[in-house]
Amino acid sequence: SQELEQSPQSLIVQEGKNLTINCTSSKTLYGLYWYKQKYGEGLIFLMMLQKGGEEKSHEKITAKLDEKKQQSSLHITASQPSHAGIYLCGADLASGYALNFGKGTSLLVTP
């Protein structure tokens, strides 16, 4: 079974709309990372969250970590076509060196 579940699996939003992607873990989170991937390319690091209640923002993207609920959310405000891609959450689930990843959320932003 998947240790990190992402929802939704895919998302189509109109340009200018807000959206939220969720990442839920079946185990205790020791650090949560958000990445963006263009199709067939490498992962681009967005944000790292390490403490429960932590919230970080970069441009129009905000990520929060709810450690007690073992989940994180990624919120995009006023989406743009440049936000399109696959968003992946990765977490250290106790190894100290390996990240487990969700399957990703595919985002398409239409004009």
Q: Which of 1, 42, 51, 68 binds other proteins (CB under 8 A)?
A: 42
User: How far is 27 from 44, CA to CA, in rounded Å?
Assistant: 25
Q: Is 85 in the site for other proteins (CB under 8 A)?
A: no
The three-state secondary structure class of 60 is: coil
Q: Which stretch binds other proteins (CB under 8 A): 43-51, 55-63, 65-73, 76-84?
A: 43-51
Taking the mean position of all CA atoms in its chain, how far away is CA 2?
Answer: 15
Residues that bind other proteins (CB under 8 A): 4, 30-31, 33, 35, 40-45, 48, 50, 88, 90, 92, 95-104
